Amino acid sequence: MAETSADILADILMEEIFGVKKPVMGMVHFLPLPGSPLYDAAGGVKKIRDAAMKDAEALVAAGFDGLSFSNEGDRPYLSDVDKTTVAVMSSVISEVASHFRKPFGLSVLADPEAAIAIGSATGANYVRIFLSWVFVSDWGIVDPCAGGLQRFRRNCGGMGLRVFANISGHTEPLGGRKLKDIAAGAVKFGLADAVCLAGTTAGSPIAGKDLQQAKEGAQNAPVIAGTGVSLENVDEMMRLSDGVIVGTSVKIDGDTFNLVDAARAKRFMDRAAEVRATLASCGLHDRELEKEAARP
């Protein structure tokens, strides 16, 4: 399949952030933070920091192109997290990111403003947030205000912070709007730098047709597969998307809330590197054929 101009522009942004086309980002899921129902007060913040450092170390050793932090352990999620969450996430992310010096981003479940604040403070490359449209979720109605969020990003001095807008996953869009149109709205009116899709929950796969629809609507913006990417489907997910975020499939026993399994992570990244090399080779071949066809 020949690369389109949209594919090329999406590749340029991904290379700008990660130094590679079709990057693979590894999830660093935080243990429950102070104040959340499952927080381990005996282990304290040290336990959270140590776990994050260990996960990041396994992902970097496996060859992942970037790290993506999230407060996954803070179930049930809040749409307006408290200042403790912002403080602890900022501290731990800063320490871990400075140690490994990989491109990194983050999400805060389920508070996009907090994500922008933390991302701006820590020098993150991107945030993954709900930016536009209205969704229903397990934690209530998700009703982000793109205008307010983008102005908050400006006021935080975070305009160098890329916005990866969630357009599906963990939620159901209201109004019966097509995924293609949600993607188009996020990019054109929400000013998203990329759009991100997810399955019904962490670790759930994304339908190939959904990625294709998002591609149609996202214009030149990258489309990222944000959940359910595994050794079994990495070929398809990397072919249909401009980058993937991987978490559950490289955890111990494939459980989202466990630590990263270093061996699983290595096997996954070895395969992802093979797939990426094959796709790059095919793209080069297609461009050579196009040049040949254009000669008089």
Give the integer Cα–Cα distance in Å for 47 and 31.
8
Contact 8, 17 (CB under 8 A): no
Decide the pairing of beta strands 24-29 and 243-246.
parallel
Measure Cα distances from 245 to 65, 93, 105, 106, 140 in Å: 10, 17, 11, 11, 25
Helices and strands: H and E segment counts in the chain: 9, 11
Instruction: Name the pLDDT band for 287 (thresholds 50, 70, 90).
Output: very low
Q: Which two tokens stand for residue 205?
A: 């796969």
pLDDT in tens, 199-228: 988 899 999 999 999 999 999 999 999 999
pLDDT band at 295 (very low <50, low <70, confident <90, very high): low
- Between CA 152 and CA 161, with CA 157 as vertex, the angle to 5 degrees is 85
Residue 229 has pLDDT above 90, yes or no: yes
Q: What is the pLDDT of residue 54?
A: 98
**CATH number for the domain that contains residue 12:** 3.20.20.70
pLDDT at 170: 87
**Count of domains for the chain:** 1
Exposed / middle / buried, residue 138 (Cβ in 10 Å: 0-12, 13-18, 19+): exposed
- Residue 71's identity, in one-letter code, is N
pLDDT band, very low/low/confident/very high, at 296 (cuts 50, 70, 90): low
Token pair, residue 222, equals 């990258």
Task: Give pLDDT, residue 2.
Answer: 53
Q: Give tens-digit pLDDT for 138-163.
A: 999 999 999 999 999 999 998 999 99
Q: What percent of the chain has pLDDT over 90?
A: 88
Q: Which residues contact 222 (CB under 8 A, 6 or more apart)?
A: 10, 13, 14, 193, 194, 195, 241, 242, 243
Domain membership of residue 284 as a residue range: 5-294
Residue 7: pLDDT band (50, 70, 90) is confident
Structural contact between residues 149 and 40, judged by C-beta atoms closer than 8 angstroms: no
Q: Model confidence over 183-207: pLDDT tens digits? A: 999 999 999 999 999 998 889 999 9
